[in-house]
Structure 1
Amino acid sequence: MNKRITIKQIAKALNVSISTVSKALNDSYEISDETKKKIKEYAKFHHYKPNTLALSLQNKKTKTIGIIIPNILSHFFAKVLSGIEKVAAEQGYNIITCITNESYDKEKHTIETLSNGTIDGFIACISEETLKLGKFDHFNNVIAEGTPIVLYDRVHKDIVCDKVVIDNVKTAYKATRFLMRSKCDNIALISTIDGLNVGKFRAKGYEKALTKYGIEPNKDLIIRLENNEHLKERIEHMIDNHKVDGIFTIDETSAAIAVQVLNARNIKIPKDVSIIGFTNGILSKHSVIPLTTVNQFGVKIGEQAAIRLINKLENKIDFDDIRTEIIRTELIERDSTKKLYIKF
């Protein structure tokens, strides 16, 4: 007996996406008549039949949501999870939380395992390894099979689903502009998340702000790494060899290490150097010098992601209604910058 042909095999044979095949077989208006005809004829010729067991599992509600978190040690992700859990509990949903530890294999295995009828939908943040590999079939396959996904924070254009994010470019632009308004002329950028798209977007916002105000970005004042390795040495070299009066760090760890380096050299914060960090986590609040920082509103991101997903599960929103919601940010002024009282 021949093995049943799948949507995935049809997509590969015709060099189209799984989503396109699914929509064509369901006669979606989004697919051209020519493409529909080609897909339907191929499916008919190869005796394609929908997997009725899978469909029945899809249609059976578990009132459970799968939550994918790349790093549980992150204060930001803990806040997002808190927001998701709050809304899920209010709406009578349970959650299954899975930690990928930034692994593509673990993320893929988790999504494929839970999508067998264990959960009704996913709220996920893409792992660092997945973004580097650019492999997103495990997300797209689940979506094509009718399981909704809402991505938060780290997203990608090749995954067509609902997303809840901040405007990283705009936020970094405003933070850098704040430093310029506080009379900082030599503003450094420090990042240990340059392997992530959010890190690249924040670096872009920094450079955009400098260029907007007629300042050529100085490569000697830019540290862009993919992890914390050798970060302290790089900051020490920059401070010792170049004039710096402002630092914008686009992750929280970088800010804390920058403070350590400045303190070791008896450089006064913010009199000599002002610092702005990102995330507004525990390190920012309880640093030796409390840090001015960007608040991403992690709880709000989690709440909105959960609301969006549950509304789809409750058929309050059409499955094909795909949106990206942008959550506002704010700058929380503390002791690491001069007081300007300028609205962020």
Structure 2
Amino acid sequence: MPSNRTTLASIAQALEISISTVSKALSNSSEIGAATKKRVLEYAKANNYTPNSFASSFRKGTTSTIGLIIPNILNPFYAKVLVGVESYLDDNGYKLITSISNDLIEKETKNISVMSSGFVDGLILCVSKEAEQKNEYQHIKTLIDNGTPIVMFDRICDELECDKVITDDFQAAFDATEFLIQKRDCKHIVITSKTNNLHHLNLRRKGFEAAIEKHKAAVKCTVITDERSKGLKQKLKELLKKDASIDGIFGLNEKSVLHAILLTNKLQKANSNITITGFCNDMQLKYDSSLIVINQNAKEIGKESAKLLLERIKSKDKSSFKTKTIAIGL
């Protein structure tokens, strides 16, 4: 079915002039006479002509569009990062294209390939879980080698030369654990996490362990790990039923925190006062009185990622890459 959309070609045909003349007239070029400009503009207005901004971007060599690839959209952390990115780009006249990797290398590679084929000026990326676990980053390295500006956030690869936005996961976990020990007088703290060997989770675990080691005379700890959420939840449930001395729980990620809250509320231990802390971005969980939230400042991470990328695009600098650390804490 033929399109009824008014284009440069249809205007040129109707007015019996070249497409180049139409384009220059619509751009108010000094090369085109006033009478021709008037004819073109009047015809374009009468026929509801809308410029093809994407085609124009290709001609100019820039799209004023940024790509964002995140592992998923259901995790509140990534949703808030997206909000921070979009807000900053909108304030600076840029559009945003977002895609989801589902934590798979194949889909991440496909998204990168599509976006880097002239659709975006640069890319913001949180590495997929599969890429990090397998240490496979060639698809990202190829993008960088081809000159596409890129900013990595949260899950990063130290070996790749690009701008990065990170948080001090070690220190945040250390401070939160000390808070449980010193401010909440916890004597038996359980740390709970899935065993997926992600770099940022390992840093959080090390921060927890460092605080426990510092205060080892005053506190004991129990570690619960499982690759499956169901298994993790079951292990924590069994431990809480068996050991009444537990008075603190540290969740290394959102699901660990959620499991801890649901289980402690469900068990309703009459003589137990358990304080839960962990990395959490779910607004509903923050209203639970037993939870001390470690705020990851996800919107700020998104904003700084977008800011770094636009600075890189405008400077056209190929070196001196920056790593921005976002402060997080209780």
State the TM-score bracket (shorter-chain normalisation): 0.7 to 0.9
Residue 324 of structure 1: aligned partner: 323
CA deviation map 1:215-249 (0-9, x unaligned): 59967x11123341222210012223333111111
Residue 281 of structure 2: aligned partner: 280
1:300 has 2:303 as partner: no
The structure-2 alpha-carbon separation of the partners of 1:244 and 1:141, relative to structure 1 and needing over 3 Å to count, comes to: same
Gaps of 5+ in 2: 1-57
How many aligned positions are there? Answer: 271
CA deviation map 1:126-147 (0-9, x unaligned): 1111111111011111111110
Q: Secondary structure at the match of 2:229?
A: coil
Contact 2:187–2:220, Cα closer than 8 Å, also in 1: no
The structure-2 alpha-carbon separation of the partners of 1:277 and 1:125, relative to structure 1 and needing over 3 Å to count, comes to: same
Say which one has the larger Rg: 2
Q: Secondary structure at the match of 2:216?
A: coil
CA deviation map 1:251-294 (0-9, x unaligned): 1222222122223332269x62111121231342244x462210
Q: Secondary structure at the match of 1:277?
A: strand
Amino acid at match of 1:313: I
1:185 has 2:187 as partner: yes
Contact 1:245–1:272, Cα closer than 8 Å, also in 2: yes
Residue 171 of structure 1: aligned partner: 172
Amino acid at match of 1:297: N
Residue 67 of structure 2: aligned partner: 66
Within-5 A mapping of 1:89-168? 89-168=90-169
Q: Secondary structure at the match of 1:237?
A: helix
CA deviation map 1:159-217 (0-9, x unaligned): 22111111011100000000001211111101136432111111111001111223599
The CA distance in 2 between the partners of 1:223 and 1:88, in whole Å, is: 41
Amino acid at match of 1:321: S
Residue 266 of structure 2: aligned partner: 264
CA deviation map 1:89-145 (0-9, x unaligned): 111111110011111100011112211211111000011111111110111111111
Contact 1:192–1:224, Cα closer than 8 Å, also in 2: yes
1:211 has 2:210 as partner: no
Residue 310 of structure 1: aligned partner: 310
Contact 1:58–1:120, Cα closer than 8 Å, also in 2: no
Within-5 A mapping of 1:79-90? 79-90=80-91
The CA distance in 1 between the partners of 2:188 and 2:59, in whole Å, is: 56
Amino acid at match of 2:295: N
Mean CA deviation greater in 189-198 or 320-329: 189-198
Give the TM-score of the pair, scaled to structure 1: 0.74
Amino acid at match of 1:253: K
| RMSD value, Cα | 2.2
The structure-2 alpha-carbon separation of the partners of 1:147 and 1:201, relative to structure 1 and needing over 3 Å to count, comes to: same
Give the TM-score of the pair, scaled to structure 2: 0.77
Contact 1:194–1:226, Cα closer than 8 Å, also in 2: yes
